[in-house]
Every structure is written in C-alpha cells, then in structure tokens.
Copies of this chain bind each other. A is one copy, B any other.
C-alpha cells in the first residue's frame, strides 16, 4: 500500500535497521522503516491514552496498563512500539511524556498540518469545530461550501468560502490536507480539483470510491458501512440465539 523510505526526525539512536529489502540503512535519528498499517492505527490510540495520562499527571506507565487503556493486549502494544524503537525501561515501564513525544514524532505530528474542509454542511461544521483536530498538530485553515447562503458565515472562527475560490484559497492558506464532506455526486469532481491543486492527503466522508493518482493518499470514513457491519454481527447473534433456544428446547 505504500512505498518509500525514511524520514527526518530527531532523538533516539537506533539499530542499523534490519536489512530487509535492500533499503538504505537509515540516517541518524528517528527514521525507521515503515510501520505496518494495523500497527499505525493503534499507535494513534496509544497516543490519545497517553495524552489523557499526561493530563492526569501520570508520569510512568507499564505496557500492561497502557494496553488496558487502549483496549489491546500488552504483547501487541509492545510489538507495535517496537516498530518505532525501544523507548521503555526494562523492569520499569515507559515515561508517559517521552513515549508520547516519540510516537508523535514517528507519526509526523510535529509537522505543520493545515487542513481545508470542503463542504460546510452539518458534517463539515462538526469537523471544523472538532477540538480533537486543533489539539494535535492539525489546524483547520479553510472551510468551503457551494451554497451561496452559507458564504461568509463563521464556523469555529473561520469564514465559509465559496467553493469556486477553492484553488486560490488552498494556495493562499497553504493547506496540505483536505477533508471532503460533500454529497457523493460532487465528491469525485472536488477530489480532482484538490489533487490538481497539489493536495495529496484526503479524508473523505462521501460514500463513493474516489479515483486518484496513487501518490495521493485517500482515506474514507463511511457511516453506512459501519452500520452495515454492526447489522451483520447483530443478525448473527440473533440467529445463534434462536439456534441455541432451539437446541435448549430439543435438549429437554
């Protein structure tokens, strides 16, 4: 799913980097080989759990405790962290603040991410006002909508701009990420315009499969999909309940 090598960064010397597929042995600090996608998703959860601990004034945590807080088991947590480096102390645990910093750095959250939100309906507004963004290196720098009546309204300290000015505003605000919260019908068209403007990271809430060059990373969040998956499990639970009722009856 994803090519390429190292990154710049800081801190933490590290091993010669497993030879693997003839990758250049990483430079000085931080730069690791790639993090498995499954692991990556969990690292963001650890990060949040660590933030809460930091707020609560907790300074040290064991893999067992952090795993518990993140809803995974501890070997998995340790394996995930091992993709980044060795940031714990044997017999002791992890320093909450330090580990938090290391994960942030590995995920690239120390860079300046400037997000444009395209579509200022309820979803777009919810996103624009979402506190979770601002607090972790993401700054919402522009908000667009096609609806004339919305233009100029302020949401979360940001004026809604006309989508006709998309390209100009993207450039002016130096956005480097975009969120698509528009109806399915226009999502591909807007995606194309974002890509043409040089955006290579897009989070889409539109229930369509977007086509884009493969240097563009697209992630999709799909509420209907999520509910359908729940429905599948619920249905099975129902069926097996009925089945076990039947067994219970037969057993008498």
Contact = CB atoms under 8 A, between A and B. Distances in A.
Interface stretch (A90-98, A130-138, A143-151, A167-175): A130-138
B232 A108 contact: yes
Nearest to A34: B236
A1 interface: yes
A125 B121 CA distance: 10
A75 interface: no
Interface string A116-140: 0000011101110110110011100
Contact of A224 (B44, B227, B242): B44
Given A7-B239, A11-B41, A203 B228 contact: no
Contact of A220 (B1, B72, B242): B1
Contacts of A49: 209
Given A223-B133, A239-B31, A234 B108 contact: yes
A160 to B, nearest CB: 14
Interface string A1-41: 11111111011010000000000000000010011011011
A126 B228 CA distance: 18
Nearest to A181: B126
Contact of A231 (B8, B42, B201, B235): B201
